[in-house]
Amino acid sequence: MANHPVEQLKQAWYSLPDYEQQHSFRSARVAVALGAKLGMAEKELVTFWYGAMLHDVGKAHVDRSILLKPGPLTPEEQIVVRKHPQHGHDMLAPIPGFKDSLDVPLYHHERWDGYGYPRGLKGEAIPLAARLFAVVDVWDALRAARPYSPPWPDERAREHIIAGSGSHFDPTLVEQFIYSLRDKRLTMPTTSVLGRLPLN
């Protein structure tokens, strides 16, 4: 059954380096908490959770030597890495349980100013879930140890997010995110969104 999309997805997930899996768990938790705070309905939170958990699963198509490289990537390597949103989307699209969860994997590297990838969508043309997740994704990635960088302190990561408001990120969402951090309101909602992924 290795050709079945679900089996391929499982293999892809388990092939990711540990730091990628942990980043996915942490960022999905924060994203769902933030989504709940911003008024997403429970059904939306569930699809948001799935998309966030699997947002980088397309990196399974990227050679581990690139993912674990302890220094800057070459332009050629960057081109390979930048294909992960499309790969992730293409892995999830054939699985019925993920049909509403494709926006985050596909669009989490789009930028508010239109200079992101893979489509170069701009502003509100980027689905809200992906705009929201983009902030959380960068926040979590910067504060974690990566093969090419030690973890950044919270304050430096916070300043980076604020500096990207209106260029990288939706300014309204940055404001809400920063407000949430300051008030330490980013707690988990009491829903069942942490259930299993629809992988049966």
Give me the least distance between CB of 146 and Fe ion, in Å please: 11
Active site residue 10: no
Alpha carbon distance 184, 154 (integer Å): 13
Q: Are 169 and 134 in contact (CB under 8 A)?
A: yes
State which residue, 142 or 174, has the beta carbon closest to Fe ion: 142
* Stretch (H or E) spanning 102: none
In the complex, what is the shortest distance from the CB of residue 58 to Fe ion, in angstroms, rounded to a whole number? Answer: 8
**Binding footprint of Fe ion, residue count (CB under 5 A):** 2
What are the structure tokens assigned to 114, written together? 């239109």
Q: Measure Cα distances from 14 to 11, 70, 74, 126 in Å.
A: 5, 21, 26, 29
In the complex, what is the shortest distance from the CB of residue 108 to Fe ion, in angstroms, rounded to a whole number?
Answer: 5
Which CB atom, from 96 or from 197, has the smaller least distance to Fe ion?
A: 197
The distance from CA 54 to its chain's CA centroid, rounded to whole angstroms, is: 7
Question: Can you say how many angstroms the Cα of residue 127 is from the centroid of all Cα atoms in its chain?
Answer: 13
Please choose, out of 55-63, 69-77, 126-134, 179-187, the segment that lies near Fe ion by the rule CB under 5 A: 55-63
Neighbours of 155 (CB within 10 A): 8
Of 10, 37, 43, 59, the catalytic one is: 59
Q: How far is the CB of 86 from Fe ion (least distance, A)?
A: 11
- Chain positions 139 to 198 lying near Fe ion, rule: CB under 5 A, are none
Contact between 110 and Fe ion (CB under 5 A)?
Answer: no
Contacting Fe ion within 130-149 (CB under 5 A): 137
What is the Rg, in whole angstroms, of the alpha carbon atoms belonging to the chain? 16
Smaller CB separation from Fe ion, 40 or 142: 142
Residue 136 to residue 26: CA distance in whole angstroms: 9
56 forms part of the interface with Fe ion (CB under 5 A): yes
Tell me how far CA of residue 148 lies from CA of 58, 74, 160, in angstroms. Answer: 20, 13, 18
Q: Which one, 16 or 45, has the nearer CB to Fe ion? A: 16
The residue ranges that bind Fe ion (CB under 5 A) are 56, 137
Return the active site residues. 59
